[in-house]
Amino acid sequence: MDNQKRKKLILWCSIGLALIAVAVVTTLLILHKHSGQAEGTDTTTTDSLQQELHDENYNHTFGVSTNRYYILALDNDTALIIIQHIEDNVANGLYYPWIEGSDCISPQPLQITIEKHQSILIIDNKTLTIKEEGDKIPNMMNGKQHSFLDEEEQRHHFSLTPYAAPPYSEIVDNRFSNKRVYKVKVTKDVEYATADGYWTSVVGYQDDSYLKLLREKIKESKQRRELSLTMDIYEPIGDQNQRQDSLLMMESGRPLIVLLHGGAFYVGDKGMEHIAGWSDYFAQQGYICAAVNYRLGFRPLKREIEQAGYDAIDDVKKALRYLIQHQQEYHIDTDRLFLAGTSAGSITALMTAFGKDNDFHITAVANMWGAINNLKILKNSHTDIISFHGTADQLVPYDQGIPFQDINKTIGKRMFSTLYGSASIDRQAKALGYRSELHTFEGGSHGLHENPDHSINYENYNYIQEHIASFFYREMVPQEIKIEQDRNDPRHFYIDNKNITQVLWSVPDGFIIRCSDTDVWVLWPEESPSRRIEVSGRYNNGIGFRRTLTL
C-alpha cells in the first residue's frame, strides 16, 4: 500500500472514531438530562405522565389525551373535564362542574386556546386569559397545583389530574350459599370413641313395622357390649379460587355440620341416602360434614328408652370433642359448630345443643321433626333453631304430646314421656330472643323427606336443604351488607357494618370522587344510561360479598 492510500485510510478511521465519540457523548447527555428531570418528581405523577405519554390519543401541545376524563381544580371550584377534539392550537371538550348538594353533573362547553404569550380558557362562554408564555398550559397538566395571573393581574390556582377510578375486582364467593362449589373427599368409618351398648347401626328396616323390629331385636338388647363409634367425614376439596380459599381456610377454618340420622333410637345408619346426600351437599358448599353413628337399642322399658336417648347425646358430645381435638387436621372453625338431624337424630341434636356443662357452643340446630322433653332447657344456650315439621305427625308431636300415637296410645303413655315438638320449641325460642324459623307442612306426616315408598321426596328434600343453607349462612353473616344513601348528601353512600374487613367500590356509569373502606362519594353525568353502585369485599370471617344498588 502506497503512502497516499495509507493517509486516506487513517483519515477515514479518525473521522469514524470522532463520530462514534460524539454519539456516545450526546447519548450520555440526553440520559443525564432525563434522569435529572426524574429526580424529585412525585411517583404517582410520574406514573400518570408515563401512562399519558403511551396513550395513542395523547397530545403534546396541550399535554392531555383526548376522550379521557380529568379532574380540574380552579380556585375553589372542582370539575370533571374531557377534551374531545384538538385541532392546531385549539382544544374543545366538555366541563362538568361539581355542584354542592347535587349528584348530577351537567356538561358545559369547554375550549382551550394556546397562543404565543397567553392561553385562553373558555367555560360556558366565560373567558379566562392566562397571562403566561404559550407553553404554560401543557406544563400545568401534571396533577400539581400551579398559580398564574390573568389579564387583570388577578392570581388564580389551577391543577389538572387524570381521573382514575379506585381499583375494583368482583369477589365471587359462592360458599355456604346454596351453590355447589367444591369436590368432596369422604373418609368412611372414622372411629371417634368406644362405648358399651347394644348396636350402632340397623339398615334395611324401612319396610318393617316398628313393633316387628322390637320383637326381632329383643334378643340383642339383653346384653351390652363394647362398641366402636364411627363417623363418615366429608371434606371440601378445591374450588374456583383454590389459593384464596386455602388462605382463608388456614386463617379461620371451615364451619362444621354434624348430621344425625333418625330411627327412634333403635335403627338407622350414617350412610342412609338422605344423610349422605345432605352431607355431600353441604360439603360442596364449604362445610366440613360429619355423619355420625351413635348407640342404638333398648329393652322395652321406659327407663331403658330414656337411657338410649342419653347414650345418643353422650355419643354426639364425644364426636364433637373428637372433631374439636382434630380441628387442625380437618381445618375446622370451632366457633362455628352446627347440628342437624331427623327425628331421633334431631331430638339428640337439640338435647346436645341445650344440655348443661357443654365445653363447646353450638351455633345453630336444624331440627327436622324432632322434639325435646323440657322447654326449660332452651335457656341453657343461646343457640338458634330452624325447624321443619308436619302437622299430622303421629310419631313425634308437632306441638306437644306423647310420641308414637300411631302404635298404641296406652302403650305410648306407659313407655314414653311428653315431648315438646317444633311448634312449642319455636314459640319458646322466640320468647327467649333466639332466631327461630318454623316451616310447617300442613297435613304432613313424619319423615317429610320421604315418599310413602321410602324413596326421596325431592321437592321437600331440596326445600329443606336450601332453607337450612340460608339459615346457617345467616349465622356466619349475621348482618349482610347493605348500601345506604345519605339523606343529607345525595352523593354520599355508605355501608353501616362493622363485620367487614375489605371493601371495593365501583360506579360503572359514573365517577367516584372520594371513597374510604365504608363510604363513597359519587357523581353521575346527566347523560348516564344508569345509576348503579357496586360493592365487593369480605366479611371478617373471610366470606366474600357482592351487592348492587340501582337508583
Quick one: pLDDT at residue 188?
Answer: 97
Q: At 201, phi and psi to the nearest 5?
A: -155, 135
d(CA 124, CA 545): 44
| pLDDT value, residue 206 | 61
What does the pLDDT read at residue 86? 92
Helix residue ranges, H only, 404-496: 409-415, 422-431, 458-476
CA 151/CA 118 separation, integer angstroms: 9
Q: Residue 142 has what pLDDT?
A: 66
Grid-cell match 375486582, residue found: 169
The three-state secondary structure class of 395 is coil
pLDDT along the chain (551 residues), means of 10: 46 37 32 31 45 71 86 88 91 90 90 84 84 58 74 82 89 82 94 95 70 67 88 84 48 89 92 96 95 91 86 97 96 95 97 92 97 96 97 92 66 72 97 97 92 91 96 90 92 91 92 91 90 92 90 88
pTM summary value: 0.77
Q: Which of 141, 148, 120 is nearest to 59 (CA)?
A: 141
pLDDT of residue 133: 47
Q: What residues are paired with 225 via a beta bridge?
A: 197
> In degrees, to the nearest 5, what angle opens at C-alpha 430 toward C-alphas 427 and 433?
155
